[in-house]
């Protein structure tokens, strides 16, 4: 492994890579930290400062260290998550609970909010509009 100082960003970057391989196993710039298998494969996950007060995460999965371990925000304190934007939530229970929210704007400007709640047995739809 070699530590490589490149000139890819205005201040350069630090890379951890096997000598002679095309892609690094890790790379750090002034606003970007990425990881990958190295070799012929490019980095596949990253944490990036995309704007002021904004972090961008590229990863298919965000795994806690162990089950029932990770919490976002504080349930009793002032540090709570204000809003969550998601296409769906999967909340495992003894079966499962899947909540999906769709916002549909019709051609005539009408807004339809469709909420789908499914359990293991059958889906239920709640239509608001």
User: Residue 24 falls within a domain, yes or no?
Assistant: yes
Tell me how many domains the chain contains. 2
Within this chain, do residues 7 and 52 fall inside the same structural domain, yes or no? yes
pTM: 0.58
Residues 54 and 92 in one domain: no
Q: Are residues 93 and 46 in the same domain?
A: no
What are residue 23's DSSP bridge partners? 39
What is the predicted pLDDT for the residue at 102? Answer: 75
Structural domain range at position 116: 88-128
pLDDT tens digits along 74-121: 777 788 777 777 777 666 655 566 677 777 778 888 888 877 777 665
**Could you tell me what percent of the chain has a pLDDT over 90?**
20
The rounded mean pLDDT for the chain is 78
Domain limit, last residue, from 58, 74, 105? 58
Looking at 41, 58, 75, which one is the last position of a domain? 58
Q: How many CA atoms lie within 13 A of 50 on its CB side?
A: 7
Does the pLDDT of residue 49 top 90, yes or no?
A: yes
Mean pLDDT, residues 22-30: 90
The pLDDT of residue 95:
58
User: Which distant-in-sequence residues (6+ apart) come within 8 Å of 25 by Cβ?
Assistant: 1, 16, 17, 18, 35, 36, 37, 38
- 75 belongs to a structural domain: no
């Amino acid at each position: 492994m070699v530590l490589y100082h490149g000139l890819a960003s205005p201040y350069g970057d630090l890379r951890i890579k096997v000598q002679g391989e095309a892609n690094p196993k890790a790379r750090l710039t002034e606003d970007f930290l990425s990881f990958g298998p190295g070799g012929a494969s490019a980095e596949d996950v990253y944490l990036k400062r995309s704007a002021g007060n904004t972090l961008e995460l590229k990863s298919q999965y965000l795994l806690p260290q162990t089950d029932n371990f990770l919490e976002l925000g504080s349930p009793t304190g002032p540090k709570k998550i204000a809003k969550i934007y998601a296409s769906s939530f999967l909340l495992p229970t003894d079966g499962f609970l899947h909540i999906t929210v769709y916002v549909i704007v019709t051609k005539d400007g009408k807004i339809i909010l469709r909420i789908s709640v499914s359990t293991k047995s059958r889906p239920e739809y709640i239509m608001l509009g």
